[in-house]
């Protein structure tokens, strides 16, 4: 082996050693700086989205390897990149699975409470991703941020349960009006949402 080749090999070996050392130091540094709050928020995003996608389908689907793998992958991507489109994809996948499973499995139609649980889980995942979207895993968070988010989440989930309760009462008394009720509630809710959003997003001159 010539001196040039020996020098080249030495340089390659040194470079690889330096990279390994830098990688190890980076890992140790990350482990030292990691903050619990953003990690827990991301964990909550993944868990709620995965649980929602498992709840949305019948047990035989929920136990299927392919379905579990896809749901876990989407939940994991949503947790790792909460600022991107991944949470929307995961929520869309869950709702699509809910609709498709209901269409294919007509005799075992899901209860209203399952839908309420699904809504709560999806909104928890969505709001956790919204809060965590600009925080890195090493961002030290003020406790006030988590407290505000938890209060908001509690309020919305309580409202959802209240709506579910109201709908359950209505459907119990007026079983024949379910479809008409859905159309009416949907139209009223859509108009309300559009009005509120348009009013709040209107730029004051």
Partner 1 sequence: MTMDPVLSLRTDNPREVRAAQVEPPVTWRRTKALSRAVAVAAVCLLAAVAFGRVDLVLIAAPFAIGTAVLLQRRPHRPPEVRMAPLEGTGTDLTCAEGATAAARVIVANPEPVPVTTVVTAVADPWIDLHTGKGDFASALAPQSGRDLVVAGTARRWGEHRLGPVHVRSVACGGLLETTVQRLPGLTAWVVPVPDWFDSAESLPFAEGVTGVHRSRRGGDSGELAEVRLYQPGDRLRRIDWRTSMRTRDLYVNATLSERDTDVTLVLDLQVEAGVSGGLDGAASIADLTVRAAGAVASHYALQGDRTACVEFGARGRRMRAGAGRRHAAATLRWLAAVEIPQDPVPPSPEMLRRQLAGQRSLNVVFTPLLTDRSIALIAALARAGRPVLCVDTLPPHVSPPRRTHWTPYAERLWRLSRDNTLMELRDLGVAVEPWQGAASLDAVLAQLTRRRYR
CB half-sphere exposure, 6, CA atoms < 13 A: 3
Question: Would you say 59 or 143 has its CB closer to partner 1?
Answer: 143
Exposure of 50 by Cβ count < 10 A (0-12 exposed, 13-18 middle, 19+ buried)?
buried
Using CB under 8 A as the binding rule, whether residue 179 contacts partner 1 is answered as yes
Considering only residues 111-140, where is the footprint of partner 1 by CB under 8 A?
A: 112, 114-116, 118-120, 122-123, 126-127, 129-136, 138-140
Token representation of residue 181:
């009720």
CA dihedral 27, 30, 36, 41 (to 10 degrees): -80
* Candidates 16-24, 42-50, 62-70, 179-187; binding stretch for partner 1 (CB under 8 A): 179-187
Q: Site map for partner 1, 6-45, x if CB under 8 A?
A: xx--x---------------------xx-x----------
* Residues that contact partner 1, how many (by CB under 8 A): 74
Rule CB under 8 A: choose which of 87, 93, 97, 101 binds partner 1: 87
Binding window for partner 1 (CB under 8 A); candidates: 19-27, 42-50, 63-71, 185-193: 185-193
Taking CB under 8 A as the criterion, the residue among 20, 22, 69, 189 binding partner 1 is 189
Nearer to partner 1, 28 or 69 (CB): 28
**Cβ neighbours of residue 39 closer than 8 Å, sequence gap 6 or more:** 137
Token reading at 179: 């479809």
Q: Is the dihedral of CA 194, 195, 201, 204 positive or negative?
A: positive
Site residues (CB under 8 A) for partner 1, limited to 43-82: none
Residue 158: CB atoms within 10 A of its CB come to: 11
Residue 204, helix vs strand vs coil: coil
Q: How far is the CB of 171 from partner 1 (least distance, A)?
A: 7
84: left (phi over 0), alpha (psi -120 to 50) or beta: beta
Among 145, 150, 154, 174, binds partner 1 (CB under 8 A): 145
Taking the complex as a whole, how short is the minimal distance between the CB of residue 65 and partner 1, in angstroms? 27
Q: 137: which DSSP letter?
A: T
35 neighbors 141 (Cβ within 8 angstroms): yes
Task: Name the minimum Å distance from CB 28 to partner 1.
Answer: 13
């Amino acid at each position: 082996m010539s001196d040039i080749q020996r020098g080249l090999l030495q340089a390659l070996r040194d470079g690889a050693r330096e990279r390994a050392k830098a990688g190890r130091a980076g890992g140790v540094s990350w482990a030292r700086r990691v903050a619990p709050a953003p990690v827990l928020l991301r964990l909550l995003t993944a868990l709620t989205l995965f649980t929602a996608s498992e709840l949305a389908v019948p047990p035989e689907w929920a136990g299927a390897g392919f379905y579990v793998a896809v749901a876990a992958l989407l939940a994991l991507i949503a947790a790792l990149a909460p600022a991107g489109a991944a949470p929307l994809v995961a929520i869309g996948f869950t709702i699509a699975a809910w609709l498709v499973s209901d269409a294919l499995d007509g005799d075992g139609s899901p209860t209203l409470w399952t839908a309420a649980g699904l809504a709560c889980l999806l909104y928890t995942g969505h709001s956790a991703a919204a809060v965590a979207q600009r925080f890195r895993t090493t961002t030290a968070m003020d406790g006030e941020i988590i407290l505000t988010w938890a209060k908001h989440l509690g309020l919305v989930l309580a409202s959802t349960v209240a709506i579910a309760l109201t709908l359950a009462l209505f459907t119990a008394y007026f079983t024949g009006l379910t479809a008409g009720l859905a159309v009416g509630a949907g139209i009223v809710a859509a108009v309300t949402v559009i009005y509120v959003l348009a009013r709040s997003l209107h730029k004051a001159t």
